[in-house]
Amino acid sequence: MNRHHPSFCDGVARRDFLRIGAAAALGVNFPMAGLLATEAAAARRGTLDASRNDTSLIFVFLRGGLSTIDTFDMKPDAPENIRGPFKPRGTNVPGIQICEHLPKIAGVMDKFSLIRSFTHSNAGHGPADHYMLTGYHPTASFNGGLIPNNQHPSIGSVIAHKLGPRGSIPPYMCLPTMHPSGSSAYLGPQSVPFVIEADPNSPAFEVPDLQPPLNVDASRLEDRRGLLAKVDRFQRSIEQRANSGASQLSVFSERATALMTSGDAKKAFDLHAEPEKLRAEYGRTTLGQSCLMARRLVESGVRCVTVEHQNWDTHFGSFATLKDDLLPKLDMAMSALFRDLSDRGMLKKTLVVVTGEFGRTPVINKEAGRDHWSRCFTVAMGGGGLQGGRVVGKSDQQASDPADNPYGPEDMCATIYQSLGINPHDEMRTPEGRPVMLTNSGRIIKELV
Amino acid sequence: MGVDFSHDVVPLLSRFGCNGSACHGKAEGQKGFKLSIFGNDPDEDYRAITLQSRGRRISVGAPDASLFLQKVIAAIPHAGGPRMRKDSPEYRLLHEWIAGGALFKIADKADVTGVRIEPERKVLGFAQREPLRVIATYSDGSEKDVTWLSVFHSNNTGIAEVEESGTVVTGNSVGQAAVMARFHGQIGIFQATIPRPGAQVAGGGQKAFNAIDDLVEQNLRRMNLRASGIADDAEYLRRVCLDVIGRLPTSAEAREFLQDTREGKRARLVDRLLDLPEYADYWALKWADLLRVDRQALGQRGAFAYFSWVRDSVAANKPLDQFAKELLVAEGPLSEQPAGYFYKVVKKSGEMAASTSQVFLGIRITCSECHQHPYDRWTQRDYHGMRAFFEQVKYKKLGDDEALVAEGSPQIRHPRTKEILNAHPLGTAMPEKAAEGDRRQTLATWMVAPENPWFARNLANRFWAHFFGRGIVEPVDDVRASNPPSNPELLAALTRHLVDYQFDPKALIRFITASRTYQTSSHPNETNESDEQNFSRAVFRRLPAEVLMDSVSDVTGMPEKFAGVPAGFRAVQLWDSLQQHYFLKLFGRPARATACECERATGASIGQTLHLMNSPAIQAKLAHEGGTIARLAAGTTDDSALVDELYLSFFSRLPTGEEKSTAIQHLSTRKEKRRQAVEDLAWSMLNSLEFVFNH
């Protein structure tokens, strides 16, 4: 609960806190040193569960809203205007049925679970996105048009803040772009994602600006760096120390250089190194190649990768779109991701979440589509030590409301954080000093642990 | 006098956070028990506690058995844990309330009329504790210590924290903090000043250039800080050009200014800058952000017409009161009254009220749309009273034009009490009758009046923040009692100046740039190294996206090409908010989705650094045959002159002896690849802090 006087339960010493707060209060962002100290302090005080904090998250966000009644929670016995044209099929877990157009996913059903009683209270894209990506329902002053629009830090930013980088690669990345609610809010720029800003499915895929231009070879780059160190008179100067903006930029410069010279990063970004066969299994689509890229990134130390996929807002003629376009893409990408992670022995340490911001109306509309529906939908979660092959909760006969065990975004976040070794009940503070819980009274989805 | 719900219990619910947004105050309540946020709706809360749950929450006959009391001490499971102890005065108060019949309101009980904190202000040391007392005054003239019932909040927790009990605890940073106590919707303020410890510094001995400096110096003495020395000509030149016209001085301009030995050259420079078209470009960009010249909402023609009104106003040096008034009362065909486009971007009457309050008064009233502002005095009456001014705004088709009309007598009701609210400005009494005609006239007259407590003050503060990277009230658009100015006398002097000079923006810019304070060096001394708050030195500010883009183009002599505008268009001149541009997006150009200055991102990112270092586009500018670098490399064999030229155009200064010899050595050992060597030198300058920051 929102205690007025927080005990510093993330283990940050008061001195650290004041230092961070002082910088933040100046309208500039936390000095990196302070941040690192925070992380180190948190680790020392043991609020991080050390046995778990090598677990990573891949969050696949199907933007627009996945129709779960047509995919993971079919209602074959409901009237025709609800059940739709698709038929259920069995999976490799006896008793669990999903859509006939997801045959490959049906083959990996044992590796993840379905929360069919998922529910929340907002059926507008912007606010629902924010709710699902941060665990916090936005307040009245929410402005979805802002980029970023975060009132609260995204899940990825919280993970970056709490766990910090592992090696020379940034802890939080977004593929192929950053969702407007994917940023860090009051956690500051150290916890913003590194955004790839390129489509992993394009034949010439490359992370922009990661390498010097072609006509600048290695020795020349060396020359330039040497020169920069001499020319930049404010580097390591009293001015740099005294100005939070300048010291922050210096930190980013170091990180940028580390990223450029990091073998890990170079290797991770080199999607072309993947065997053609595996690339084909993920599907030569933006979604498929982003999922493959996500696996590579996690392999090289990234702690949270958000994969965003568009076009799930199927108001019109949705069954053709689903059957011919969206479901085949999802089927390949999601099944390949689970199988690949499992084959490499990474699944136990990699949590995968697949969800839209909400589901879609049980009743089919006049345009042969379904509209927004947040009152009941399905979230898929697997790996990261969670139980696979389960169905958590159920929806009512028309999938319009949860029939039992309702879970919401708060609970999803709590479960994600716990899986990554972060105490979901930690308290953070905004630069204005407002105490904010990591999750808004989220409960662990106990059926999954 | 007995205990009742509205006088005694509501403050307790706030004090213990029961009605906060993370607990029972959130929209859906908590575990079936919902309270109005911050006790906004006592009637509803009373019903929730006394009637819901089949009345189990309250047991008048056996108060201790009340679910309500059992929960607050967690005698039965309470997700929020125990909020108080059974032997506490708070518990006894609740007990007494229930035992006395759980009354809603005792009719003749005195109401709270005000709250103050004792002491009001104090100078504190590092790591010091200072207990506060909160005194409430009542309608019957009585006073009561309500410290234990008050909610405290510090506006600067880096400087001073406040404990739940009302004890202020300072940290180890120099600065000022305001601590607010809230009781019954009333607010009291305590101001803490934490000066730098150690022997009192004497003033720097530098003389004041104008009235600003005495007032800044007075504050620095309070903080025991000494201002840095005066910026040299080159430092001043670069800073004032970036701030006034949003571009770097050219090497020729820099040379001329540095060689000028006549008296008064800094003031003359400012006069010259204020007359340049770049001045209008840059300040139009600033206003276009705040007033939201948004092509998404207005379309090409509308956005351009709206922008042109902004730019023409700046170019004509339109007095700021007139500028604001034109927008506030814009009426008629949009082709003739393009300021009226504002109301097409900000479409709802409530947003119009909130945006104009935020931009012109610096006051955020959005919170009070739904509940009392938690850190200020504004209530739903104030919000909807402001909203009523804009209820008449509509558009009528007029051939292929449109006309804004403000007519009719639409009524506004308080969303909760349903009382009819006549339009009335913030902090004024509501008139008995609704105004006739266009209500916005009344608002505009009130708003831009010299005696308006916020208008001139807000503009003065915004201008100040433009030149110092920080307002005297900070953030600039969050003026409230609990966020007082760091130097009230200074803000008052700037406000007076603005009013005395009939809201002339150029006069205010001359006043600010002529001060010693603005002309202070960014080089810290031993007292002010950790001070970014008190204007004791110039603080580093990253160049805004457009200015940095233009700077890269200028120093390389390679203009950037933007889609849909003529060649030679500068980034600062781009009026179109939908212009897609990777560099500008990466460096934080705002989408103009809000009226908040904060929408422009000023922070750094790894992506920015990578882009400056590695972008093929920037490399192409450095390497282009027709660019400055190629011209310099081919044009002279005099390395010393070449290095001077680079330093003047990138840094607006000449190199030091050491810098020059480093550069010359670099060039002379790479004679066979001279062009490339010059490029690399330019690359390193472009990637240095000195280039990316205004300092």
**Residue A197 with chain B: CB contacts under 8 Å:** 607
Beta bridge partners of B168: B130, B162
Q: Which three-class secondary structure state does DSSP give residue B413?
A: strand
In Å, how far from its chain's centre is CA B121? 24
Question: Of the candidates A26, A141, A213, which has its C-beta nearest B532's C-beta?
Answer: A26
Question: Of the candidates A141, A209, A231, which has its C-beta nearest B688's C-beta?
Answer: A231
Q: What are A367-379's pLDDT values in tens digits?
A: 999 999 999 999 9
Give the nearest chain A residue to B591 (CA atoms).
A146
Q: Which residues contact A149 (CB under 8 A, 6 or more apart)?
A: A126, A130, A138, A142, A143, A180, A181
Produce one character per residue of B378-408: b if its CB has 16 or more CB atoms within 10 Å, e if not: bbbbbbbbbbbbbbbbeeeeeeeebbbebee
**Residue B688 with chain A: CB contacts under 8 Å:** 228, 231-235
Q: pLDDT higher for A323 or A186?
A: A323
Whether B151 has its CB under 8 Å from any CB of chain A: the answer is: yes
Produce one character per residue of B608-640: b if its CB has 16 or more CB atoms within 10 Å, e if not: bbbbbbbbbebbebbbeeebbbbebbeeeeebe
Q: Are B368 and B374 in contact (CB under 8 A)?
A: no
Whether A189 has its CB under 8 Å from any CB of chain B: the answer is: yes
Q: Which three-class secondary structure state does DSSP give residue B30?
A: strand
Cβ of B158 within 8 Å of Cβ of A15? The answer is: no
Q: Are B38 and B19 in contact (CB under 8 A)?
A: yes
The alpha-carbon gap from B653 to the nearest alpha carbon of chain A, in Å, equals 13
Between CA A133 and CA A150 the distance in angstroms is 9
Whether B199 has its CB under 8 Å from any CB of chain A: the answer is: no
DSSP secondary structure code for residue A440 in this structure: S
The alpha-carbon gap from B28 to the nearest alpha carbon of chain A, in Å, equals 9
Question: Of the candidates B158, B522, B687, which has its C-beta nearest A21's C-beta?
Answer: B158
Phi, psi of B404 (to 5 degrees): -90, 130
Mean pLDDT across chain A: 85
Question: Of the candidates A1, A139, A431, which has its C-beta nearest B80's C-beta?
Answer: A1
Between CA A192 and CA A180 the distance in angstroms is 11
Which of A17, A151, A241, A243 is most worth mutating to test chain B (most B CB atoms within 10 A of its CB)? A243
Produce one character per residue of A93-127: b if its CB has 16 or more CB atoms within 10 Å, e if not: beebbbbebbebbbebbbbbbbbbbbbbebbbbbb
For A:8-27, CB contacts with B below 8 A are: 14-15, 18-27
Entry field: residues in chain A = 449
ipTM of the complex: 0.84
**Residue A1 with chain B: CB contacts under 8 Å:** 17, 22-23, 79-81
Whether A230 has its CB under 8 Å from any CB of chain B: the answer is: yes
**Residue B609 with chain A: CB contacts under 8 Å:** 249, 252-253, 255-256
Of B71, B76, B38, B43, nearest to B57 by C-alpha is B71
For B:362-391, CB contacts with A below 8 A are: 366-367, 369-370
pLDDT of residue B217: 94
Cβ of B157 within 8 Å of Cβ of A223? The answer is: no
Q: Are A55 and A347 in contact (CB under 8 A)?
A: no
Q: Are B621 and B553 in contact (CB under 8 A)?
A: yes
Cβ of B158 within 8 Å of Cβ of A20? The answer is: yes
Between CA A396 and CA A394 the distance in angstroms is 7
Whether A228 has its CB under 8 Å from any CB of chain B: the answer is: yes
Between CA B492 and CA A43 the distance in angstroms is 48
How many C-beta neighbours within 10 Å does residue A9 have?
16
pTM above 0.90, yes or no: no
pLDDT of residue A47: 53
Q: pLDDT higher for B335 or A15?
A: B335
How distant, in Å, are the alpha carbons of A113, A162, A163, A289 from that of A45? 33, 13, 13, 39
pLDDT of residue A11: 27
Q: Which residues contact B174 (CB under 8 A, 6 or more apart)?
A: B159, B194, B195, B196, B223, B224, B225, B530, B531
Cβ of A232 within 8 Å of Cβ of B79? The answer is: no
Cβ of B659 within 8 Å of Cβ of A231? The answer is: yes
Intervals of chain B under pLDDT 70: 21-22, 26-29, 203-205
Q: Are A31 and A38 in contact (CB under 8 A)?
A: no
Whether A245 has its CB under 8 Å from any CB of chain B: the answer is: yes
pLDDT of residue A244: 81
Between CA A379 and CA A358 the distance in angstroms is 9
| pLDDT at residue A107 is higher than 80 | yes
Between CA A312 and CA A322 the distance in angstroms is 9
The alpha-carbon gap from B682 to the nearest alpha carbon of chain A, in Å, equals 9
Whether A380 has its CB under 8 Å from any CB of chain B: the answer is: no
Whether A44 has its CB under 8 Å from any CB of chain B: the answer is: no
Position A29 confidence tier, pLDDT thresholds 50, 70, 90: very low
| DSSP states along B209-271 | SSHHHHHHHHHHHHHT-----B--HHHHHHHHHHHHHSSPPPHHHHHHHHH--STTHHHHHHH
| Number of helices (H), then strands (E), in chain A | 15, 14
pLDDT of residue A141: 54
For B:589-618, CB contacts with A below 8 A are: 591, 593-594, 599, 602-611, 613-616
Cβ of A252 within 8 Å of Cβ of B606? The answer is: yes
Whether B238 has its CB under 8 Å from any CB of chain A: the answer is: no
For A:403-432, CB contacts with B below 8 A are: 429, 431-432
With residue B89 as reference, give the H or E element that holds it: helix B89-99
Cβ burial, residue B142 (10 Å; 0-12/13-18/19+): exposed
Q: Determine the longest span between alpha carbons in chain A, in angstroms.
A: 75
| pLDDT at residue A23 is higher than 60 | no
| pLDDT at residue A4 is higher than 80 | no
Q: Which of A25-39, A151-165, B425-439 has the lowest mean pLDDT?
A: A25-39
**Residue A147 with chain B: CB contacts under 8 Å:** 591
In Å, how far from its chain's centre is CA B328? 21
For B:449-488, CB contacts with A below 8 A are: 470, 474-475
Q: Which three-class secondary structure state does DSSP give residue A298?
A: helix
Q: Are B604 and B541 in contact (CB under 8 A)?
A: no
Q: Alpha helices of B471-579 — where are they, by DSSP H?
A: 488-500, 505-513, 545-556
**Residue B158 with chain A: CB contacts under 8 Å:** 18-26
Question: Of the candidates A215, A224, A242, which has its C-beta nearest B684's C-beta?
Answer: A224
